[in-house]
A and B are shown apart, each in its own frame.
Chain A
Amino acid sequence: MIRVELVKMLRRPRTWITILMLNALPTLVAVLLAVTDIGPQPGEGPAFLSAVLTDGTLFPLAALAIVLPLFMPVAVAVVAGDAVAGEAAGGTLRYVLTRPVRRTTLLVAKLVSVLAFVLLAVVVVAAVGYVVGRLLLGGGDASGLVTGVSGSSLTSTQLVERTLMSVVYVSLSMLGVAAMALMLSTFTDSAIGAALGALAFLIASTLLLTLDAAAALQPYLPTRYWLSFVDLFRDPIHWRDLTRGVGLQGVYVLVFLGVAWANFTTKDITS
């Protein structure tokens, strides 16, 4: 079942069009930086954008920081929102379940398919970011050393390790969105409705993060730790927010998937 869902996801043109669009904005930013050579002021703009002017090898991280606040969650919400609701809207959910397959198994297969999409999207954004960064912004120092956020020098090996950790962390950060959209997908036959519901949840989270009055809620908001992958490039690595980010996404995944499971295995399937 999992293999069927994975193949279905990979064969869909929509998957690749979404990933292509995800890469458009970082590529445009790289072109603009290469042409103008104007970086943001300290404290402004996406992470690592000031650093890539002198070292294109950091552009995968800048690319992730560019798509992470909005484009990536939109893509994930659309794909995850379509997982069950899309089948229902297309009238195929009943037929899928007439095969000797348990609903829990189908839900797990849908979840794995969504997770695979998240990982694929993040890896492609990072890989395209690396190629574009090297081509347009150069390879940095001849010594191969890269200056970390805390001023210490990172070797090529350390940079690769931490970039891979960033890719994993960003993928994990998207799990909460995926689980939310998948849960809503089990409640409705409208894929767009499920995706918009997940996005409304994220927009609310982003807004509450800017309010001092919501300080007590902020540690529990899904978007709170998304950009903490920057902490992997500090010296020593600042694990505090990274571990909290992973833990928080874990809680959201457990809660949303629990509700999705309880609902999907209980409801009458008529579509």
Chain B
Amino acid sequence: MTAARRWALVGVGVLLLVSTPFLVRALPAHDDGSSAVVLLHRIQGSRDVAFSGYVESGGTVGLPVNDALSGLTKLVGDTNKVRVWWRDPSTWRVSTLRTTGETDLVHAGDRTLRWVYESKNVTLVPDVAVRLPTTADLLPNELARRALSGARPGELSRLPARRIAGRDALGLRLRPADPQASIGRVDVYADRATGLPVQVRMFGRGAATPSVTSRFLDLTVGKPSSAALSFSPPDDAHLRSDDVVDLADAANRFASRVPPRTLAGLPRRTAPVGQAPGAVGVYGRGPTVLLAVPLWHRSADRVREDLLKAPGTRELDAGVLVAAPPLRLLLGSPEPNESAWLLAGTVTRKALLAAAAELAAHRPGLSFR
């Protein structure tokens, strides 16, 4: 064999090896021509689709590190690799994979079991009305459900179909009409066969790159095995049961405040079925969310201290402002009783300051629960 032939053989081989994944990815996706509203209904009707798969989720939202917010900071600021087994909305398991171990959330009925490999901690927590987001909330199906809740036909448009996780996926774009919204658009892709959302990308206003992304890399539709959904704590595990889930849950249940019906022009969301409305106000629609959390002075002082250390924090008359677009936080100035409102959400700075001003002016009263 001549030298030229040898090199040609190697060149062709390299070209074939390198181009194969790109050729596979370039396979055309098939659309079915359904309208945006029809696709929305199909997505909303896919809640009970059982599946298992592998999800990559995360974002570029740079929240400050704080004990109370650390989970949220990692959730929207890093890339999370997650395995999921989903039988229905009340029976599922998600495993956040790390090279050093993993954290599992196993949900059954009205409780979630949390397993952390490195510390061997097993914690049982109840379902609560208000809590900070977890890995499960960033799965494409859950993120899409929340983002599209309350969507109006005028806010929706279709996107060309794509192939995601090896399946045909139909595209739906939501442009929130609320002037308070800091999310400019949400692109949702749903499995053509089942309507199950397989990719969600959230863009801040005017942003060319997504702030939060969640997508399936592998997806198998069908009921996962019972073995995958079950968890028995190992003998060397440290078992714990937490009645209070996080800062938001504690405030919602134990703070004696009554949030107003509307805040910054956004209506308060109703409490989940069977749950009494608490002290935390959740406002807005779809991807536009504003939380008003009443904090005790100790918690407020700790959060304020951490926020002031974070780069990009601004001290205003209204309080301490952290902008990590499209997410913004404002810890209000201390009230006479030294407690303070923590406002957080996907709203504009103007809306956040308006909310702080309303709370300061009207001082929501004490509840007599």
Q: Do A and B bind each other?
A: yes
Instruction: Known A262-B7, A262-B9; judge A150-B95 contact (CB<8 A).
Output: yes
Of the residues A50, A240, A255, A258, contact of B54 by C-beta under 8 Å:
A240
Contact B237 A43 (CB under 8 A): no
Chain B 86-129, CB-CB to A under 8 Å as 1, else 0, gives 00000000010111111110000000000111111010000000
Min Cβ gap B272→A in Å is 29
Contact A236 B101 (CB under 8 A): no
**Nearest A residue to B4, CB-CB:** A266
Contacts of B24 in A (CB 8 A): none
Min Cβ gap A51→B in Å is 8
Contacts of B120 in A (CB 8 A): 147
Q: Which of B61-69, B226-234, B244-252, B292-300 contacts A (4 or more CB under 8 A)?
A: B226-234
Contact B100 A262 (CB under 8 A): no
Contact A151 B234 (CB under 8 A): yes
Task: Enumerate A20-46 residues with CB–CB distance to B below 8 Å.
Answer: 39-46
Contacts of A236 in B (CB 8 A): 227-228
Contact B235 A47 (CB under 8 A): no
**Nearest A residue to B117, CB-CB:** A149
Contact B236 A54 (CB under 8 A): yes
Interface residues of A, dominant DSSP: loop
Of the residues A48, A50, A152, contact of B234 by C-beta under 8 Å:
A152
Number of CB contacts from chain A to chain B under 8 A: 108
Within the assembled complex, what's the spacing in Å between the Cα atoms of A218 and B60? Answer: 18
How many residues of B are in contact with the other chain, CB < 8 A?
39
Contacts of A44 in B (CB 8 A): 100
Within the assembled complex, what's the spacing in Å between the Cα atoms of A44 and B100? Answer: 7
Within the assembled complex, what's the spacing in Å between the Cα atoms of A143 and B234? Answer: 12
Contact B100 A43 (CB under 8 A): yes
Within the assembled complex, what's the spacing in Å between the Cα atoms of A240 and B84? Answer: 14
Chain A 228-270, CB-CB to B under 8 Å as 1, else 0, gives 0011001010101000000000010011001101100110000
Within the assembled complex, what's the spacing in Å between the Cα atoms of A126 and B116? Answer: 26
Contact A254 B13 (CB under 8 A): yes
Number of chain A interface residues as a range: 35 or more
**Nearest A residue to B8, CB-CB:** A262
Within the assembled complex, what's the spacing in Å between the Cα atoms of A65 and B101? Answer: 12
Contact B117 A151 (CB under 8 A): yes
Which one of A42, A212, A234 has the highest number of Cβ atoms from chain B below 10 Å of its Cβ? Answer: A42
Contacts of B117 in A (CB 8 A): 42, 50-51, 147, 149-151
**Nearest A residue to B122, CB-CB:** A151
Task: Enumerate A46-76 residues with CB–CB distance to B below 8 Å.
Answer: 46-51, 54, 65
The answer to the question of A92 belonging to the interface, with a C-beta cut-off of 8 Å to chain B, is: no
Of the residues A51, A141, A212, A220, contact of B235 by C-beta under 8 Å:
A141
The answer to the question of B14 belonging to the interface, with a C-beta cut-off of 8 Å to chain A, is: yes
Task: Enumerate B205-240 residues with CB–CB distance to A below 8 Å.
Answer: 217-218, 227-228, 231-237
Contact B235 A143 (CB under 8 A): yes
Contacts of A41 in B (CB 8 A): 118
Contacts of B99 in A (CB 8 A): 47, 65, 227, 230
**Nearest A residue to B83, CB-CB:** A238
Within the assembled complex, what's the spacing in Å between the Cα atoms of A25 and B24? Answer: 43
Contact B98 A42 (CB under 8 A): yes
The answer to the question of B17 belonging to the interface, with a C-beta cut-off of 8 Å to chain A, is: yes
Contact A49 B6 (CB under 8 A): no
The answer to the question of A156 belonging to the interface, with a C-beta cut-off of 8 Å to chain B, is: no
Contact A150 B100 (CB under 8 A): no
The answer to the question of A145 belonging to the interface, with a C-beta cut-off of 8 Å to chain B, is: yes
Within the assembled complex, what's the spacing in Å between the Cα atoms of A266 and B7? Answer: 9
Contact A259 B100 (CB under 8 A): no
Min Cβ gap B204→A in Å is 16
The answer to the question of A153 belonging to the interface, with a C-beta cut-off of 8 Å to chain B, is: yes
Task: Enumerate B1-18 residues with CB–CB distance to A below 8 Å.
Answer: 3, 6-7, 9-10, 13-14, 17
Within the assembled complex, what's the spacing in Å between the Cα atoms of A261 and B233? Answer: 54
Contacts of B98 in A (CB 8 A): 42-43
**Nearest B residue to A140, CB-CB:** B236
Instruction: Known A251-B17, A262-B10, A266-B6; judge A151-B100 contact (CB<8 A).
Output: no
Within the assembled complex, what's the spacing in Å between the Cα atoms of A266 and B10? Answer: 13
Contact B102 A149 (CB under 8 A): yes
Contact B101 A266 (CB under 8 A): no
Contacts of A46 in B (CB 8 A): 100
Contact A265 B6 (CB under 8 A): yes
Contact B83 A259 (CB under 8 A): no
Contacts of B115 in A (CB 8 A): 150-151
Contact B234 A234 (CB under 8 A): no
**Nearest B residue to A55, CB-CB:** B236
Contacts of A234 in B (CB 8 A): 83, 95, 97, 102
Task: Enumerate B51-90 residues with CB–CB distance to A below 8 Å.
Answer: 54, 60, 83
Within the assembled complex, what's the spacing in Å between the Cα atoms of A45 and B60? Answer: 24
Within the assembled complex, what's the spacing in Å between the Cα atoms of A88 and B98? Answer: 44
**Nearest A residue to B102, CB-CB:** A149
**Nearest B residue to A54, CB-CB:** B236
Instruction: Known A43-B118, A227-B99; judge A151-B104 contact (CB<8 A).
Output: yes
Contact B234 A147 (CB under 8 A): yes
Of the residues A65, A141, A231, contact of B236 by C-beta under 8 Å:
A141
Contact A42 B54 (CB under 8 A): no
Min Cβ gap B185→A in Å is 21
Within the assembled complex, what's the spacing in Å between the Cα atoms of A227 and B99? Answer: 7
Give the A-binding residues of B (Cβ under 8 A).
Answer: 3, 6-7, 9-10, 13-14, 17, 21, 54, 60, 83, 95, 97-104, 115-120, 122, 217-218, 227-228, 231-237
Q: Which 5 A-B pairs have the closest CB atoms?
A: A42-B118, A266-B3, A258-B10, A50-B118, A147-B234
7 contacts between A and B (CB under 8 A): A44-B100, A45-B100, A145-B234, A150-B104, A227-B99, A259-B14, A266-B3
Give the B-binding residues of A (Cβ under 8 A).
Answer: 39-51, 54, 65, 141, 143, 145, 147, 149-153, 212, 220, 227, 230-231, 234, 236, 238, 240, 251, 254-255, 258-259, 261-262, 265-266
